[in-house]
Amino acid sequence: MPDISGFSAGVSIVVFSPAKLNLFLAITGRRADGFHDLVSVAAPVGFGDTLKIEPVAEGFSLRCDEPALEIDETNLVLRAARAFAKASGWTGGANFTLEKRIPMGAGLGGGSSNAAAVLLGMNRLAGHPLDAARLEELAAQLGSDCVLFLRDGPVVMRGRGECVEPLPPAAAARLRGRRVLIFKPSFSISTVWAYRQLAAGAPASYLPAAEAEARLAAWLAGDSTAEALLLNTMEPPAFTKYLALPVLLDVLRARFGLAPRMSGSGSACFALLAEDAAIGEITACIREHWGRDVFVVETRFA
């Protein structure tokens, strides 16, 4: 069983914890267990958090440079650490230091990504006692989005998000390396609130599973660009309350010919960029509408 007794003092590893974007997100209905079923294409990007893991004799602790982040036992980093220890027989502890760059309440999967980074990092430190399937089981127990971060590249998600398979190579090639601009207003959107709004508007707020699968299958079978895939059925409730989102996205479409969308339950949005696109004017437009403190980052799909 894994034991840190063999580690020398000061041994640590650093794990990259990427953000994700939902290019295609169809919420198809509510399940008996209260969760929602979905069909989604999600992809990690080259922007994210950094997690340092230092094995210690006992106990788990978390430090973070983002003061707004709760670092108590409810944090997914510590929950993932305890889940790994229980599943693997890890007998020691670990100190975690999280450099937080992914904004919270954005729909970018920051917390889920951090949990996956813990599982991957601790498994590496312990000599890989858990195989990929067991790690995915643990990730699914921690959160619906966690499993996708254990995969290297774009995926198709089903169920409540825990049923994950890689995007076919030809389709993934249409996404990998694409330039993308991510931007988030100063406000966040509660995921719980967003799903409650969908449930309140049911059944009209859901896209039937057969229709969602048909739309995805058509894109997979063709050779259309990533822009043709874009869909998010969580936009209507968010846009109804947070008017700043649709107003800016409409401006970006009209002024720059972009196809911007919201990611996940929001509030972060994104726009795919051509290789020769100059983002200065686009960024200026975003700040004009959402203020100087808006979060903006350019990155690429992994």
The catalytic residue positions are: 20, 145
CA atoms within 13 A on the CB side of 36: 28
Cα 14 to Cα 227: distance, rounded to the nearest angstrom: 34
The closest alpha carbon to 152, from 264, 23, 45, belongs to 45
Residue with tokens 């602790």: 61
Phi, psi of 123 (to 5 degrees): -65, -40
Selection from 5, 28, 4 nearest residue 207 by Cα: 28
Residue type, 272: L
Angle at 220 between CA 48 and CA 165, to 5 degrees: 55
Distance, in Å, from the CA atom of 156 to the CA atom of 176, rounded to the nearest integer, reads 14
The token duo for 138 is 């643990």
User: CA gyration radius for the chain?
Assistant: 20
